[in-house]
Amino acid sequence: FLTARPVPKMTIGIIESLQIKGTFLLATPIESSEYKYEGKTLSVSLDSFDIVLLGKEDEAPAADETKPFVKAPYLPCNIALDVHKDLKIKSSLDGSMMKFTCIQLYALADGETKIAVQFQKFQNHLVSLSKVNMAGTIPHNKVDVIEDFVFSSDGTIDIVRGHSTNEWADAFRPASRQKINKKAPDSSPTTVRLPNCNIAQIKVVIRLDTTLVGVNDTKLAIKPYKGNPETTIH
C-alpha cells in the first residue's frame, strides 16, 4: 500500500538579520522567503539575497601555505536554491561586489558534492557574463579539484581590458587569501585541477572602459575545449 509523507513547508515574511560567524552577514533584509524539505532535498526560494562576506584581515600566513582554494562542503542534504531577482555578494575587506541575476543552484550530497548552477547574468567591475550554465563534482577526499566541469554560455562574455593579472585575481579570489599571498611572495600560485572538463564555444567582447571616441570593441569567438585527466588552471 502507499503512504503519503508530509512535506514540511515554511514561509517567512521577513528576515531582518542573519550572520554566520566568519562567513557572511546579511546586508539587507530578506522578504518573503519560502523553504520546503522533500525527498532529502531542502528547497529555498528567495526574491533577492544581499550578503557581505566576512574575512580575517590580519590572518597570519603559515610557514607552509596549504589552505585549499577549492574544497567540497559537507552538506547535510541536497540543496536547491532559487533567487528570482538578484544575489549580491560584497567583500568586507576591499568592498568589491559580485552580482548574479536570476540564479538557480542545485547541490547533491552523495559521497561527493555535485553542483549545477544556472544564471541569467553575472557582473563585477571587470567582467559580465550572460545566460550561463555550469556544473561539476567536488570530491571530499581531494582539494583544488573540480571533476567533470562543464561550462556553456548562450550570451556573450564582456571583458574590460587594461587591468593587471593581480586585479583579475583579486576580483575572483577571497581578499584575505590575497593578503596572505602578498606576505609570502615566494609561494607558488594556486593550481586547480579540472580533469575532463568540457567548455562550449564562448563569444567574447573586449572593451576599454573609456569615453574616448573611435575606440572599438574587440570581438572574439573561442572554440570549444575538451580537457584531459591532467587539465589544470592557475
pLDDT in tens, 21-69: 888 899 999 998 999 999 889 999 999 999 998 865 534 444 445 567 7
Residue 177 has pLDDT above 50, yes or no: no
Residue 189 has pLDDT above 70, yes or no: no
CA distance 224 to 205: 17
The per-residue pLDDT for 58 is 39
What single string gives the DSSP state of each residue in the chain? Answer: ---PPP--EEEEEEE---EETTTEEESS-EEEEEEEEETTEEEEEES-EEEEE---TTPPPPSS----SSB----SSEEEEEEEEEEEEEETTT--EEEEEEEEEEEEESSSEEEEEEEEEEE-SSEEEEEEEEEEEE-TT-BSB-EEEEEEESSEEEEEES--HHHHHHHHS-HHHHHHHHH-TTSPPP-EE-TT-EE--EEEEEEE----TT---EEEEEPPEE--TT-EE-
The per-residue pLDDT for 210 is 61
Residue 211 has pLDDT above 90, yes or no: no
pLDDT classification of 73: cutoffs 50, 70, 90:
confident
The per-residue pLDDT for 215 is 67
The per-residue pLDDT for 82 is 97
pLDDT classification of 179: cutoffs 50, 70, 90:
very low
pLDDT in tens, 96-118: 899 999 999 999 988 789 999 99
Task: Report yes or no: 100 and 119 within 8 Å, Cβ to Cβ.
Answer: yes
CA distance 33 to 13: 7
Tell me what percent of the residues of the chain surpass a pLDDT of 90.
48
Of the listed ranges 5-19, 67-81, 138-152, 173-187, the least confidently predicted one is 173-187
Q: What is the greatest pairwise CA distance in the chain?
A: 74
The per-residue pLDDT for 126 is 85
Mean pLDDT within 192-214: 83
pLDDT classification of 182: cutoffs 50, 70, 90:
very low
Question: CB atoms < 10 A from the CB of 35, how many?
Answer: 14
Task: Report yes or no: 156 and 205 within 8 Å, Cβ to Cβ.
Answer: yes
Q: Identity (one letter) of the amino acid at 7? A: V
The per-residue pLDDT for 206 is 86
The per-residue pLDDT for 70 is 77
The per-residue pLDDT for 61 is 45
Q: Which residues of 215-227 are buried (b: 16+ CB within 10 A; e: fewer)?
A: eeeeeeeeeeeeb
Average pLDDT in the chain = 82
pLDDT in tens, 142-171: 888 999 999 999 888 888 866 555 665 555
Look at the pTM and tell me if it is higher than 0.85. Answer: no
Instruction: Tell me the torsion sign for CA atoms 194, 130, 96, 212.
Output: positive
Question: CB atoms < 10 A from the CB of 211, how many?
Answer: 6
Residue 17 has pLDDT above 50, yes or no: yes
Q: Identity (one letter) of the amino acid at 220? A: L
192-193 vs 156-161, strand pairing mode: unpaired
